[in-house]
């Protein structure tokens, strides 16, 4: 199946997948960049966004309400989680941070399984985005096309917040040197809470907008988490533009490899990550020395 129409189609698949990975990874990377906490519950938050949205959808039948519910609920979960648990771990070793977030992830997943069972839940796309659209080289699900647009807008919004607002400036300064930011009299505590909330919200938002593509189940975040880490490593830990670039590259690697042999698509992704780690250990757009 190596021909031009298939190649273009696969590039397109890669773009949609890559955009989604970019969005989830950007949440992970700004949390890590600012707080130094690698949030292993990020995949679970992606899943929580899907379930919160699904629940809202089942009561209101409105996809828009579902998207807001998914994003806001997970932001609240993120803020509460940061205030109650995570902030006590800022000064503790990375191993402790990994364990506590890993544990929280398990708690979220099993709580969902307990209350809602293991069967997949479907959230249909809004009726005007259902069906398929001819895009010249192939027929493409309309919602996936829309998904690309939605993710681009979300990433743009995140970019504007990070690069065009005072809060964003403080967050970026915090990524570089949080101690210096604190000594300038800025309430770093509040900023940390906010960053954790925004990072979580990115995952929750991605979780619900992805639900019409991949129906949700308690384990839906597990696979995504692995891919997200690869994206962050490729792009550069703590770098927002790096997460976007890493996401797009990962999407293309998975899709284009699968045109030749689908069995190798994830192998190639890890090969790419290994190459980046060998040649540029701090990632494509990362900064040397940033932890």
Half-sphere exposure of 104 (CA within 13 A, CB side): 22
Told to check if 91 binds other proteins by CB under 8 A, we report no
Contact status: 136 vs other proteins (CB under 8 A): no
Structural contact between residues 286 and 236, judged by C-beta atoms closer than 8 angstroms: yes
The answer to whether residues 272 and 249 touch, using CB atoms and an 8 Å cutoff, is: yes
Q: Which helix H or strand E contains 132, and what residues bound it? A: strand 132-134
Site for other proteins (CB under 8 A): which residue of 217, 230, 233, 248? 217
Q: Does 16 participate in binding other proteins (rule CB under 8 A)? A: yes
Q: Is residue 9 near other proteins by the rule CB under 8 A?
A: yes
Using rule CB under 8 A, residue 103 touches other proteins: no
The reply on whether position 149 binds other proteins by CB under 8 A is no
Tokens of 193: 């809470």
Q: Is 58 one of the binding residues for other proteins (CB under 8 A)?
A: no
Among the listed residues 201, 209, 246, 205, the one whose alpha carbon sits nearest the alpha carbon of residue 227:
246
Place of tokens 């954790």: 196
Return the number of the residue (31 or 220) whose C-beta is nearest other proteins: 220
Question: Is the CB of residue 29 less than 8 Å from the CB of residue 203?
Answer: no
Beta bridge partners of 139: 134
- Shortest Cβ distance from residue 190 to other proteins (Å)? 36
| Contacts (Cβ under 8 Å, ≥6 apart) of 171 | 30, 34, 162, 191, 194, 195
- Token pair of 59 as six digits: 């009561």
Stretch touching other proteins by CB under 8 A, among 14-22, 65-73, 76-84, 156-164: 14-22
Identity of the residue, 70 or 283, whose beta carbon is nearer to other proteins in the bound complex:
70
**From the list 26, 48, 144, 231, which residue makes contact with other proteins (rule: CB under 8 A)?**
144
Cβ pair 28, 239 in contact under 8 A: no
User: In angstroms, rounded to a whole number, what is the distance separating the alpha carbons of residues 291 and 286?
Assistant: 10
Angle between helices 188-210 and 142-164 (to 10 degrees): 170
Interface stretch with other proteins, choices 34-42, 135-143, 165-173, 233-241 (CB under 8 A): 135-143
107 binds other proteins (CB under 8 A): no
Nearest distance from residue 143's CB to other proteins, in Å?
Answer: 7
Task: Please report whether residue 109 would count as binding other proteins according to CB under 8 A.
Answer: yes
Structure tokens at 110: 């099993």
Q: Which stretch binds other proteins (CB under 8 A): 65-73, 132-140, 156-164, 179-187?
A: 132-140
Among 170, 244, 259, 273, binds other proteins (CB under 8 A): 259
Q: Which stretch binds other proteins (CB under 8 A): 23-31, 152-160, 251-259, 273-281?
A: 251-259
Point out which residues bind other proteins (CB under 8 A).
Answer: 1, 3, 5-6, 9-10, 13-14, 16-17, 109, 113, 118-120, 122, 132, 138-141, 143-144, 213-215, 217-220, 222-224, 254-255, 258-259, 261-263, 265-266
């Amino acid at each position: 199946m190596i021909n031009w129409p298939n190649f273009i189609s696969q590039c397109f698949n890669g773009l949609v997948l890559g955009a989604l990975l970019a969005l989830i990874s950007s949440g992970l990377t700004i949390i890590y960049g600012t707080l130094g906490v690698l949030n292993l519950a990020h995949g679970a938050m992606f899943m929580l966004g899907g379930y919160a949205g699904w629940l809202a959808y089942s009561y209101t039948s409105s996809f828009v309400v579902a998207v807001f519910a998914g994003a806001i609920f997970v932001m609240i979960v993120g803020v509460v989680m940061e205030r109650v648990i995570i902030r006590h771990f800022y000064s503790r070793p990375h191993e402790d941070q990994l364990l506590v977030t890993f544990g929280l992830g398990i708690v979220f997943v099993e709580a969902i399984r307990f209350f809602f069972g293991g069967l997949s839940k479907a959230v249909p796309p809004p009726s005007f985005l259902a069906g398929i659209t001819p895009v010249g080289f192939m027929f493409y699900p309309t919602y996936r096309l829309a998904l690309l647009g939605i993710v681009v807008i979300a990433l743009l919004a995140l970019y504007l917040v990070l690069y065009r607002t005072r809060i964003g400036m403080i967050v970026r300064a915090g990524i570089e040197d949080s101690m210096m930011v604190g000594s300038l009299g800025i309430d770093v505590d509040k900023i940390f809470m906010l960053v954790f909330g925004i990072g979580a919200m990115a995952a929750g938002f991605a979780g619900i907008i992805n639900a019409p593509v991949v129906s949700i189940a308690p384990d839906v975040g597990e696979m995504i988490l692995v891919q997200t880490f690869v994206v962050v490593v490729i792009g550069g830990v703590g770098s927002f533009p790096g997460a976007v670039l890493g996401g797009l590259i990962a999407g293309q690697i998975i899709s284009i490899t699968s045109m030749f042999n689908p069995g190798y698509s994830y192998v190639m992704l890890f090969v790419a990550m290994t190459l980046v780690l060998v040649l540029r250990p701090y990632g494509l757009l990362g900064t040397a020395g940033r932890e």
